[in-house]
Amino acid sequence: MAVPEWLFGPAGDLRPLPPPDMDVVSTVDRFGGIHNGISGGRTVDTLGYKARFEFDLPYLTPEDYAWLEAVFTRQIPGNLYLVNPLKKNLLSREASSARPSGTNTAGVYTVPGTGGVSTWVRVTDGPVAWTQRAARWTGMELNSRLHFDYAGRTPILDGEDITFSVYVRSNEAITVAGYSQEYMNGQWLGTRDYTSDYVLTPDTWTRVQITHTGDVSESEEINFGVEYRGGGTNNRVIQAMGAQAEYNSEPTEPALGGGSHRVAIEAMDVVSTRYPLHSVNLKILEV
């Protein structure tokens, strides 16, 4: 099911934010510059996009305020996350648009060497309504993996299903499987869960999916991907698009990502006008 409220906190301990006293400020900033040439032409340099948020939280109880201050001052360790209830796809925007990444934090990632190479291509016959972009994966060896938000990860909620899905196709009859891998205290637990093998019909899109039920006593974060299991020739090509992770037991229509962010608190301004309650203005930045 979709999460109906803003969730915030360290991995394994995300909590609902109290109802804000104003509209939530949610902005995506572009980093880079616009340069004017002598001819008057403009060049746009884009270094990346990051979100920022602002919440006015009135009259927090002493218990809620103590937890928030402890998170802000890093008395509670762990990666901080903000889950946006307005966006169902918990993957990054880059992963949902199948964009290969120069880093392993956001987007599509392959391990250099045996993992093959992924490039960003246009497809006009894909199954996703909002994009025509896919990752084109070539040169992979047996059991190589195509990772989505490999080091970015997604927070696990206790008792909630989280389902990953992605559309894949190949030019040859090959076998793939979906997988998930879990983390505790920032460390990979050393094992993966796999789907049954999918035998791809050439030039036909197939939706691979895997569901994990959250138990934060066992794991706090998770990431997902597709593994090449064999088949085909050295000219095999796998395309992937429409990747999505969502708090649901079944996959729904793919959407642009950005529903979960790894974040930091930029500022926490506090006023206490009604003892012993605190009102907080919270500024949060995607990192």
State residue 42's pLDDT score.
85
Say how far apart CA 91 and CA 244 lie, in whole Å: 6
What are the structural domains of the chain?
Answer: 7-32+49-85+261-286 (3.30.200), 93-256 (2.60.120.260)
What sign results for the dihedral spanned by CA atoms 8, 162, 254, 242? positive
State residue 33's pLDDT score.
78
The set of long-range contacts for 59-68, using a CB threshold of 8 Å and a minimum separation of 24, is 59/274, 59/277, 59/278, 59/279, 60/18, 60/277, 60/278, 60/279, 60/280, 61/277, 62/276, 62/277, 62/278, 64/18, 65/270, 65/277, 65/278, 65/280, 67/15, 68/268, 68/280, 68/282
- pLDDT tens profile 46-75: 778 899 999 999 999 999 999 999 999 999
State residue 1's pLDDT score.
54
- The two structure tokens encoding residue 218: 């066992």
What count of other Cβ atoms lies within 10 Å of the Cβ of residue 239?
20
State residue 2's pLDDT score.
61
State residue 80's pLDDT score.
97
- pLDDT tens profile 68-123: 999 999 999 999 999 999 999 999 999 999 999 877 889 999 988 889 999 999 99
Mean pLDDT of the chain: 94
Residue percentage of the chain with pLDDT more than 90: 82
pLDDT band at 237 (very low <50, low <70, confident <90, very high): very high
